[in-house]
Structure 1
């Protein structure tokens, strides 16, 4: 069986006695793209620096393709790890041309070979004619592509990307991200992509790893983390959700919005939070469902998202409608929750 491209075993990093990365264990398979996501300060970027060798772990081990590169008695320097790194600010050398930036990591090749590799990589990222320009002459998206070409030119076994699209506007960021991921897959590198954006994480990775306060909370396919989050925080992170209190009674969860099937992990009488996302809530005909007063609404392109206050609930519920709608703030609408769409967590989980 082929060794993982990256393996972390109980990796820990301390700053001022505090665990910024706290016993994180995970594998990244060969040719896999892993999205590493979480709120700012959760340890994502530090984890990349531990993989690359820019930081030394205080505990655990890091392996690349089956070779331990950091551990209690081992530390392989960054330049010997075969890892490419794209930083958030791209870190291009301002005094070097685009072509010389790309050739920078190719010292083991002859000048002619390095130039050929650089030309090939610039062509792959769509910048074939930009070799003699300088970074300040390029747009943000073009600089990002130069950074990608430079990172991929030495053919690294692992590519690390730290918030590489965050400095680009949304539309350009999506375009550059699509091209970047396609090229990474074409060249067969494994990659870890750090982002704070849950939508970007789910759109980019074969799997998604969610971090919180230095620990790995959950890892799996994007669909798994969205549909089956392991905690209330995970449920809310991947799509804004509203908690509705409930209690298990006779095998069902009773709430102000109706009765739902109870999960096995909740005992009778147990209190729960039912987390509802806007797509789970549907508008119904007058007289059906539960009454809710419209307290806010926003146009979302193909319809509207409503903010609805239900008597007896502390927080408003979100709902979506497709198409145009003539509802007004203060109107009383009727809503229902589809019976199998709830995310139910015991209080305290």
Structure 2
């Protein structure tokens, strides 16, 4: 029995459809994450789970108890949910200990002290009981905000972009620490973010939202390696979509040459397709006949990320160890090295709905939704803008 289950929920503000037919579930102790650009509906979805927003269609169930439907809205304080906000929302006039124990009013003073001491030790801030929020760094404040949400031992924790005001290095480190803490506390959690690395560091399950629809809900590994929708492929990781044509032998004629994959045998001869190319699919190789010129280089620590324009004019990305640095303007040889191909229908803009854009090489049964029909998705959305 899942601890949290959303079944085809739909949320509208007037005539504007904000969330469309979203279904997902989290088992007890799992950490989930909703990814997507600003305005995609993920925060509205979080508010609905918390009880701050009603539904027009569908149901939200917690531990087999319906807490939201079109005709029912269980108050937030009766749901056993904790929340962590992106602005921390600590009380400036209260000490760290008073902030953490704020939601434990029914506990005795001894129980509150013991819980505060336990959580401060777990978040690596023992002895901070008497400090005030203005005496803490941003990362320390976020740890205290998390401890405050965990103190009453909620059955579900909701985190709304909790690390967005922190620098990138601290975000990634905190994401790992928060995951470890949630697992120690055995707390089920749902995180909203637009940062992929943050999501991958924390989540057991993750999903990508676009224009109110949940395009895919699976493990982070599956989102990255087995995207079921072109928008997911576009949003997750650095990559480009190239065009090609499948021939009768099951090969893919492409700007990178002839690509082979057994699954392509199921695709009709002559089918135009687009396929996903990520930086780890392209390997620099001085002996390769596929040539290009470096247009840009980005330093990533252990490796460099290069944008290479092929002689055909198409640009692809490739990785190379940073100690083997190549320069902008250099000609390089490239070798395709795919572990697997992710292939989509090329004429996606003419298909009636996004469910028809599942990879051609993987079977996919679209979910049935009772929500109002979605508007057609654009051919080239700017899904990466946050």
Which of 52, 64, 67 lines up with 2:65 in the alignment?
Answer: 67
| Cα separation, partners in 2 of 1:7 and 1:101, compared to 1, 3 Å | same
| Cα separation, partners in 2 of 1:186 and 1:297, compared to 1, 3 Å | same
Partner of 1:280: 281
Contact residue 84 and residue 151 of structure 1 kept, 8 A: yes
Secondary structure of the 2:103 match is: coil
Secondary structure of the 2:184 match is: helix
The alpha-carbon deviation at position 323 of structure 1 amounts to 4.5
Partner of 2:112: 114
Aligned length: 345
Secondary structure of the 1:88 match is: coil
Unmatched tracts of structure 2, length 5 or more: 349-356, 358-386
Partner of 2:333: 334
Partner of 2:24: 26
The alpha-carbon deviation at position 258 of structure 1 amounts to 0.7
TM-score, normalised to structure 1's length? 0.93
Contact residue 304 and residue 325 of structure 2 kept, 8 A: no
CA distance in 2, matches of 1:74, 1:231: 33
CA distance in 2, matches of 1:340, 1:118: 49
Root mean square deviation, CA, Å: 1.8
Partner of 2:50: 52
Unmatched tracts of structure 1, length 5 or more: none
| Cα separation, partners in 2 of 1:265 and 1:217, compared to 1, 3 Å | farther
The alpha-carbon deviation at position 297 of structure 1 amounts to 2.2
Matches within 5 A, 1:70-85: 70-85=68-83
Once the two structures are superposed, what CA deviation does each residue of 1:146-193 show, in whole Å capped at 9, x if it has no partner? 111111111100111111112111222223222221111111111111
Partner of 1:305: 305
The alpha-carbon deviation at position 140 of structure 1 amounts to 0.7
Contact residue 6 and residue 60 of structure 2 kept, 8 A: yes
Once the two structures are superposed, what CA deviation does each residue of 1:265-293 show, in whole Å capped at 9, x if it has no partner? 6422221112211111112234x231212
Once the two structures are superposed, what CA deviation does each residue of 1:221-269 show, in whole Å capped at 9, x if it has no partner? 1111111111222112111112221112223211121112363564222
Partner of 1:344: 343
Contact residue 154 and residue 187 of structure 2 kept, 8 A: yes
Structure with greater proportional strand content: 1
| Cα separation, partners in 2 of 1:326 and 1:178, compared to 1, 3 Å | closer
CA distance in 1, matches of 2:299, 2:278: 17
Once the two structures are superposed, what CA deviation does each residue of 1:190-220 show, in whole Å capped at 9, x if it has no partner? 1111111112212211111111111111111
Contact residue 54 and residue 70 of structure 2 kept, 8 A: no
Once the two structures are superposed, what CA deviation does each residue of 1:21-66 show, in whole Å capped at 9, x if it has no partner? 1111111000011121111111111111111112112221111111
| Cα separation, partners in 2 of 1:236 and 1:127, compared to 1, 3 Å | same
CA distance in 2, matches of 1:42, 1:292: 37
